[in-house]
Amino acid sequence: MDRAKKKVLIGKYGVHQKDTGSSRVQIAVLTERINELSEHLEAHTKDDHSRRGLIGLVGKRRKHLNYMRLHDKDAYDKILKELKLRK
């Protein structure tokens, strides 16, 4: 992911322009990276090192989502809807 994409995500999901640590921003950035890696793995099915990285990113995102679900249910529901994480 390049800096421009990351800056756009921070601007969209952050509380302020320099907000890089909130769970909302972290979930958005991780989701973008997960989507990019998923596309890569569709083309390169035997790339096990990237697959392991993908599994780690999914675990990090899961932890941030669990935190949000416990501490701010409304924001959790909103971010799930915006990022289309649940059906």
In tens, the pLDDT along 8-25 reads: 999 999 999 889 999 999
* Ordered alpha helix ranges (H), the chain: 3-13, 23-43, 48-71, 73-83
pLDDT-based confidence at residue 87 (cuts at 50, 70, 90): low
Report the C-alpha gap between 85 and 79 in whole angstroms. Answer: 8
Output the pLDDT for position 6. Answer: 92
End-to-end Cα separation, the chain, in angstroms: 25
User: Which residue type occupies 87?
Assistant: K
CB atoms within 10 A of CB 31: 20
- Residue 54 has a pLDDT of 97
What pLDDT does 22 receive?
94
pLDDT at 62 exceeding the cut of 80: yes
**Span 60-66, mean pLDDT?**
97
pTM of the model as a whole: 0.93
